[in-house]
Structure 1
Amino acid sequence: MRDLPDNLLDRTEMLLVPGRMLLEDGPATGMAALVRDGRFAEIAPVAELTARHPGLTPVALPDHLMMPGFIDSHTHLTQSLGKSLVFGEPSEIFRRIWVPLEGSLDQRMVYLSSKLAALECLRGGFTCAVDAGTRSAGQLDALTRAAQETGMRSVIGLICNDLGGAADVPPPDRIVARAEAHLERYADDPLVHSSLAISIPEVGSDQMLVRISGMAGKAGAIFQTHVNEHLVAVERSLVANGRRPLEHLAHIGALGPHVLIAHSTLVTPSELNILRDTGTAVAYNPVASVWKGNAIAPALQMAALGIRFGLGTDGTRADGFRLMDAAETLQRAGYGLASGDSSCGGGWLWLDAATRMAADASGLGAVTGRIAPGLAADFLLVDLDRPEFTPSHDLTWELVRYGNRDQIDAVFTQGRLRLWQGWPVDWDARALLAEIRETAAHAIAGAPITRIHPTADKHRVEAIA
């Protein structure tokens, strides 16, 4: 355990000299970063940068890697109170668990759930998370306030369903008015970015899908929706429209570079071409595929075709390192073993997909995701003085396969230290956990949740009997 260095706290200007720095072409030595007013002001060799700024005392971090923070390109911040309820459950859990749970949460529980989720994200090295939109009625302010208080950068989706699938489904004109207000609301917020969302295509009319997607694109925001995730949803779309969900979105003109599609696990070759040709981005959620999905997104094929994608958790577990490991492992198991591909992305692809590629897919490529002049200073200090990184022969691969969140010493967003060795430096996380332990059981009991399988302990008794 290292003590928290005073020279990392509450500084508007810092000259950081890490042992290694993760730049766009890989880990580099002998580099320094000047952080000023929440941004990377300069990135240059140590001697050059210290000579230009003789009045600044360099912060020496010889045992640390300075790397961009991870970007979770798809999550659900208001699902953290019931996260283990879905374990072992069949697909489309949103119908039986998430919609009933989120719809029953009051303002305080939305706040607690969102703050817990944001804390977990930061602990896992995610400096930014893209929330797909809460289905709770009128509680978006509580969600946003919770994320802001933790210091996590967030993309906040406003659900704009007009055919159900949420606790509150107002008339179309009110949906559009709310969407317009949401797009404008955070224009000057340094950490919050607006987004519009329709949960799945079938809970939005064609007119609303096109309208909301177009509004987001015109405003420079992203439009989010879950597409081609479960076999039953694909079949429902075929029955209703004669087209698969992704095909239907393309047919009505709702896709484009501003669109972020969650999952896309069940995609045909022609649908891959649709994604490529429209510039639509994908959130590849490997852990969700293992835990609750029907298939694995063909991320290696997407990369080969030039389809934009980033990694997402889908609210499963918040550990950026384990997410990269899962991303590579599933591609190896699903495609690499059968084709003799022993590289499966070469390590670097998954590191990029968790940082700069995820930022681009999330509409934030010009804001974060890299250590580069002008971008927000959202970064991690990873302790390399660990057995897992000793000896080090290929740090990029080692981060993908040996990295873990307990190796993260510091998490910064907008140039400010938010967490040190897993805990916030400016608010009481223990008090948050205590309140959640006292209140979560009552909130869960009051939600009309339907589970198919018992808990693991009950299952053990039944199996033995």
Structure 2
Amino acid sequence: MQSVDQVIRARWVVPVRPRTVLHDHALAVQDGRIVAIGPAAEILTRYTAASMTHLDQHVLMPGLVNAHTHAAMTLMRGLADDLPLMTWLNAHIWPVEGRFVSPGFVAIGTELAVAEMLRGGTTTFNDMYFFPEAAAEVAQRMGMRATIGHVVIDFPTAYAANADVCLQLAADLLPRLRRMPLIHQSIAPHAPYTVGDAGLCGARDLAASEKLPLHMHVHETAHEIDEAIARDGMRPLARLARLGLLNQHFLAVHMTRLNEEDLAICRNSGLQVAHCPESNLKLASGMAPVATLRKQGTRLAIGTDGAASNNDLDMLGELRTAALLAKGVSGDPTVFPAWEALEAATLGGAEAIGWGAETGSLEPGKAADCIAIDLDHPATYPVYDPVSQVVYCAGRDQVSHVWVNGNPRVVEGRAVDWDTQELFARVRGWVERIREKDNDR
């Protein structure tokens, strides 16, 4: 028998690729990687393990991938609810950021976000925020996989004076962050309305030279598009196409307002879309045309957006909303079925943010990034189809185990290696300062 670090056995294994449900199967894991998947009896005959986990009422599946976050903004969860996007940004979020954003703010906010995401079954996230090194250090220390975006924005922030400085900071940081094994990077121009042509071209060129993806908010609101037409004489997506930013490595976030011209650009460029349905619903921004995008072959990932506008980082809730909303918007109950939604929240997200070769599906050779969801629960019983139960019924409180790179991050519903109450105590100091200054406005 071959010795391995661990064997994980579950009643149902859902590898995502291929789209199948494996009954009473097991994974053998060595040095953080999956070395075999097979019927439990066969795996137990072939391998002896230092650690054995038997999950007799659980789905074992890839960890969820949150394709768009602003992790540090978890410190502003619930700060300014029920407001239009631009009021929310101009009157509350940007002023608070101007006063408080710093490496310390980003570190504690990201730590809270990582704790929430891991506890809810998310093993990889794609971030866009200031002081990216602070976020990367937290993700690496807490054992979570991430793609960290280097923000590019024209107007002065606590992070940088303008887009040129943002780009220089990114170029300087790239080598340091490459030394972190759980971290990938992207170039993240904020949005077409906050970055001029020079900054966009600089982001394009830096991404191309460093072989990095681009990550950007695009077509989030009707107001954004109307302003762009008045200012530039064209829609934002057309401008990005003209400047040469769009290709299969471009992740367009939101994409709620798309006409036929926009859809053709999506088709022809091969760009990918990060769909954030709950944030878009809450801010009344509009809805991405998921059915049309899927039909034309545009690849789709799912993200929560930041907790300041969602207000959670719950990917199980997000994929359920995405699946149901696609049906309601299209008037077709067959649109975006459970398997497609699950794939978008796992492998689709991993491929969109540059981690597809490592995570997003359970396959020999890939990293052992996996989660267990306990279906022996009133909310998910009986079980006719475990994939449908995960997508339409399961809550993140049913996530019992989480592994990243084979390392346990959550065991029996309890966090490994961090103290939640101690984290809350450190967060409270920031909350009091933020509340006081926001109330002064």
TM-score, normalised via structure 1 length:
0.87
1:303-340 Cα offsets, whole Å, 9 max, x none, are 1111011000012212221111110222122222xxxx
Equivalence for 1:210: 201
Is residue 19 of structure 1 aligned with residue 15 of structure 2? no
Cα distance change, pair 227–166 in 1 and its aligned pair in 2 (3 A): farther
Q: Measure the CA separation in 2 of the matches of 1:251 and 1:448.
A: 43
Equivalence for 1:6: none
| Residue-pair matches, total | 431
Equivalence for 1:30: 24
Equivalence for 1:45: 39
Q: Measure the CA separation in 2 of the matches of 1:273 and 1:218.
A: 27
SS at match of 1:42: strand
Is residue 235 of structure 1 aligned with residue 231 of structure 2? no
Cα distance change, pair 166–423 in 1 and its aligned pair in 2 (3 A): farther
CA drift of 1:133 comes to 1.9
| Structure 1 residue corresponding to 2:387, chosen from 383, 396, 405 | 396
Is residue 145 of structure 1 aligned with residue 137 of structure 2? yes
Moved more, 375-384 or 386-395: 386-395
CA drift of 1:447 comes to 5.5
Is residue 350 of structure 1 aligned with residue 341 of structure 2? yes
Is residue 437 of structure 1 aligned with residue 437 of structure 2? no
Equivalence for 2:367: 376
In the TM superposition, what are the counterparts of 1:125-204 in structure 2 within 5 Å? 125-134=121-130, 139-161=131-153, 163-164=154-155, 166-170=157-161, 174-204=165-195
| Structure 1 residue corresponding to 2:98, chosen from 99, 103, 118 | 103
Equivalence for 1:454: none
- Equivalent AA in structure 2 for residue 95 of structure 1: N
Give the aligned CA root-mean-square deviation in angstroms.
2.1
Is residue 387 of structure 1 aligned with residue 382 of structure 2? no
Q: Measure the CA separation in 2 of the matches of 1:357 and 1:204.
A: 28
Is residue 91 of structure 1 aligned with residue 82 of structure 2? no
SS at match of 1:188: coil
SS at match of 1:409: strand
SS at match of 1:343: coil
Q: Measure the CA separation in 2 of the matches of 1:18 and 1:313.
A: 28
Q: Measure the CA separation in 2 of the matches of 1:350 and 1:367.
A: 20
CA drift of 1:369 comes to 0.7
- Equivalent AA in structure 1 for residue 330 of structure 2: Y
Is residue 244 of structure 1 aligned with residue 229 of structure 2? no
In the TM superposition, what are the counterparts of 1:321-332 in structure 2 within 5 Å? 321-332=316-327
- Equivalent AA in structure 1 for residue 169 of structure 2: R
1:289-313 Cα offsets, whole Å, 9 max, x none, are 1111321001111111110110000
Cα distance change, pair 446–227 in 1 and its aligned pair in 2 (3 A): same
Unaligned runs of 5+ in 1: 1-10, 451-465
Q: Determine what percentage of the aligned residue pairs are the same residue.
A: 30
TM-score, normalised via structure 2 length:
0.92
CA drift of 1:180 comes to 2.0
Is residue 366 of structure 1 aligned with residue 361 of structure 2? no
Paired residues of 2:164 and 2:199 also in contact (CA < 8 A): no
Paired residues of 2:4 and 2:50 also in contact (CA < 8 A): no
Cα distance change, pair 444–140 in 1 and its aligned pair in 2 (3 A): farther
Cα distance change, pair 312–392 in 1 and its aligned pair in 2 (3 A): same
